[in-house]
Amino acid sequence: MPVAIRNCLGLDIGSQTIRIAAIEMGRAGPRVLQLIEEPLRIEPGVAEAQRLQLVAQQIQQMLKTHKLRAKNAVFSIPGQSVFVRRMKLPRTTGERMHRIIRFEARQQIPFPLEKTIMEYQVFEEDDSPEVNVLLVAIKREFIMNFMRMVRRTGLRPIGISVSTLALYNFHELNGSTRDLMAKPSEKEPAKPKKETVEEAELDLGEEDALEARGFEEIQAYVNLGASLMDIAIPKPGSARMIGFPRSVPLAGNEMDRAVRDRLGLESFEDARRVKEEEAVILSTEFELEGDSEAVNMEASEAVTAMAERMINELRRSLDFYISQPDGVAVDSIVLSGGMARMKYLANYIEEKMGVPVELATAKNSRIRMPETTPEAFSPFAVALGLAYQGLRLAQNTINFLPEDIKNVRGLQERRNEVVGMAAMLLVAIVLNFNVGSAYTTRYRSDTNELRRDMTEKQRLHQDVQKAQKQHGSLADAYEKLSKAVGWREYWFEFLKYFIERRPPEILVDEMHLRLDGNVVVRGRSPNQDSVTRMLTALEEFTWITWKIELGSMQEQYDPRFQSDMWDFEFTLKTLVRSGRVRTIGEQPVSTELLELQDELKRRGREARQQKKRSGRGRERP
C-alpha cells in the first residue's frame, strides 16, 4: 500500500496575492493548521522569468516567517491556461479507454499532442452503460516554465492542479457527508429504503426531502480573484464531477483600471487602495442602509460598472451551461476569492441574477479549522481545494506534474513495499547459501548424467537430419498435390469464417495454412478472454473437424501500443489424415490429382528398379 501523506500545503499563486493553506491528516480526520495570505511584492513590468524567481523567494520567506514545516505541496495554475472537454464514452477496459480518449483528444485539442501534457479522469454513474470523461490539456512549455519556479521554492511538489478544479474540490468536500478517512472513489453506504417517499421525508430536512423526491440543488461556485473570475458548476447526478469549468479574464484588476481612469490616478496601487478602502458596489441595499458620505461615489460608480460587466459574463456562462444536454438551471451562487470581500457585491449579484448569493464558509464539521481562522474565509477556497487533493481527499485528481516526477513520488510512497521485498530477498539469499552446499555433490552427478544424455541426443539429432532430407522430396510432391486438389473453396470458407468470428480487439500477425491442412495462427490481444472466445468459435467450423492446440500465451509490453499485450500462438490440427489424399466435403478428386498420383507411383517403381540394378552390379567380381 502507498504511504499515506500526512500533511500538505495548497499554494494559490495569483497575480496580486499568494495564499497558502496548511492541512494535516490526523486520526480524527483532516485539520487545517494555518491559512496565510500575503500580497505579491513584485514591481510591475518585471520579465516573466524574473517574476517567477521573485515568487519563489517570497514563498520561501513565507514558509520561514510562519514556521511551516510541511514540504508536500500542490500548486495551482490558472484555468485560462488549460483546455477542458467533458465527454461521454461507452464502458470498456482501461487500455482501450486510453486509446479512445487519445483519439478524441487528437480531434479536439487545438494544439499538437506531442507539445501537450494531457490528463483525464473517468467518472462512473450508477446503472449507466456510459462513463463521463474529463479531459484537460495544457502546453508542455507552460508546465516546464512553471516547474522552474516550483523547484526554487524548496518544497516537494506532489501535484499541479487547475484553479477551477481546485475550486470544485473545495466545495464538493465542504458540502460532503462522506467518510473523509475513506478513499474519495468509495461510494457512500446505501441508505435503508422506506416504504414511501412521504415516510422517508419524516426523517429528512427540507433540502434532503427535495433530493428524495428527485430534486438536486445545483450551486455555481464563483471565485473572484485579481485577474480571473473562475466558475465551477457540478454535474447533476451520481458521478460527482465538475460539469462546467470556465475562467474569465475579468476581475479585480479591471476594477483597478476603471478606478484609475475615472479618478485620473497615476498608479494601479493608488487605484487599488481607493477601491479597497473607499469604494462600494452601489446595490439597492447600499442605497437603503449605506452611508454615501463615507464612500467615494466616483470610484463606486466605476467599480459598479465593472461589476455589471462581470455579471454579464457570469450570466452568459450559466446560459451556456443550461444549453448543454445535461445542463440544468442554477439554484444559487457561492462567492469566494479576494474580490468576494467587496462591500455589497454579493447583494448586487443577487439582484441582477435573480438567485440567492452567499459567501463561502466552512460547513463540513469533519474538517477541523484553526483556532485563529481569518475573518474572511472565502479567499482560501482554491488553496484548500489544492491541499485536499494532496491528502487524496478531493474528487477531481487531475495532476499536471511531469511524468518523471510522478514516477519518483510513486516509488517514494511505496518505500515500505520496496523495503519489504528487499528483506525477503535477503532472507532468501541467506537460506540458499546455507542449503547450497548440500546440493553441490548432487549437482555434479547430475552434470555427468546430462553430458551422457547430450551425447545420445546429438546422435539422434543427426538421424533426424537424415530423415528430414529424405522427407524433402516427399514434401515437394505433396506441395504439387495440394495445388491440384483444389482446396481453394475450403480455404476461402475458412478465412471468411475466421474473419467473421475474430473479436475486433485481436490483432493477427501471422497465419500459416500448411500442406497437411493444419493452420498456425500468431497474434496479440489486450486480454485473454477474447482469445478464448475466438477458439470456441473456431471449434464450431462445420467444413472440417479441428483439434485446437494452444502453443503459447504470455503477457509482455508492446511498444507499438505502449501497453501490455497477450501474445498467443495456437494450431488448428485437422483430423483428416495428412498421409492420404481425400475429398473435401462433397468436392470430388480432380483429374489432375489422379494423373499426378499415377506419375508418382511410376517414378517410385523406376527408382526401386534402378536401385536393384545398381546393387547387383556391385556384387559381380
Q: What pTM value is reported for the model?
A: 0.64
**What is the count of structural domains for the chain?**
4
Q: What is the pLDDT of residue 199?
A: 44
How far is residue 73 CA from its own chain's centroid?
Answer: 21
Question: Do 91 and 129 touch, CB atoms closer than 8 A?
Answer: yes
Residues with Cβ within 8 Å of residue 164, at least 6 apart in sequence: 79, 84, 230, 231, 232, 242, 245, 246, 247
How much is the pLDDT for 400? 93
In a shared domain, residues 282 and 357: yes
Q: Based on the fold, state whether residues 154 and 277 are members of the same structural domain.
A: no
pLDDT of res. 576: 52
In a domain, 470, yes or no: no
Give the total residue count for the chain.
621
* Residue 129 confidence (pLDDT): 87
On whether residue 477 sits in a domain, the answer given is no
Regarding whether 273 and 168 lie in a shared domain, the answer is no
Asked if residue 569 belongs to a domain, the reply is yes
Rounded CA gap, 525 and 506, in Å?
5
Same domain, 1 and 72: yes
Residue 607 lies in a domain: no
Low-confidence ranges of the chain (pLDDT < 50): 1, 185-204, 206-213, 486, 577-589, 618-621
> Do 24 and 172 reside in the same domain of the chain?
yes
Q: How do strand 332-336 and strand 219-224 relate by DSSP bridges?
A: parallel
3-state helix, strand, coil in the chain (%, to 5): 50, 20, 30
Nearest to 400 by CA among 578, 215, 139: 139
> Cβ distance 40 to 14 under 8 Å?
yes
247 with 291, same domain: the answer is yes
H or E stretch at 410: helix 403-413
Asked if 280 and 163 sit in the same domain, the reply is: no
Instruction: Note whether 440 and 352 are same-domain residues.
Output: no
The answer on 228 and 147 residing in a single domain is no
Over residues 163-220, the pLDDT tens digits come to 999 999 999 998 877 766 665 544 444 444 434 444 444 444 544 444 444 567 899 9
Please tell me whether residues 409 and 393 are part of one structural domain.
yes
Retrieve residue 316's grid coordinates.
452568459
Residues 165, 149: Cα–Cα separation, whole Å: 21
The reported pLDDT for the residue numbered 263 is 93
Is residue 333 situated within a structural domain? yes
Residue 201 lies in a domain: no
pLDDT score, position 475 = 60
pLDDT value at position 383? Answer: 95
Within 8 A by CB and 6+ apart from 277, the residues are none
Distances (CA, A) of 399 to 114, 136, 337, 372, 438: 18, 10, 22, 31, 55
How would you classify residue 467: left for phi > 0, otherwise alpha for psi between -120 and 50, otherwise beta?
A: alpha
In which domain, by residue range, is 316 found?
Answer: 214-362
Give the count of beta carbons closer than 10 Å to the beta carbon of residue 601.
Answer: 10
Number of neighbouring beta carbons within 10 Å of residue 505 = 16
Domain at 147, CATH number? 3.30.420.40
Q: pLDDT per residue over 305-348, tens digit each? A: 999 999 999 999 999 999 988 888 999 999 999 999 899 999 99
pLDDT at 581: 39
Do residues 37 and 97 share a domain?
A: yes
- Is residue 103 included in any domain, yes or no? yes
pLDDT score of 138: 94
- Type of residue at 376: A
Q: For the domain that residue 528 is a member of, what is the CATH number?
A: 3.30.1360.100
State the Rg of the chain over Cα.
38
Tell me: do 239 and 354 sit in the same domain. Answer: yes
How many Å apart are CA 186 and CA 168, to the nearest integer? 18
Report the C-alpha gap between 495 and 510 in whole angstroms. Answer: 13
Indicate the average pLDDT of the chain: 81
Q: Which residues pair with 157 in a beta bridge?
A: 73
Integer distance in angstroms from the first to the last C-alpha of the chain? Answer: 91
Query: Is the Cα dihedral 495, 496, 502, 504 positive or negative?
Result: positive
In a domain, 257, yes or no: yes
Per-residue pLDDT at 210: 44
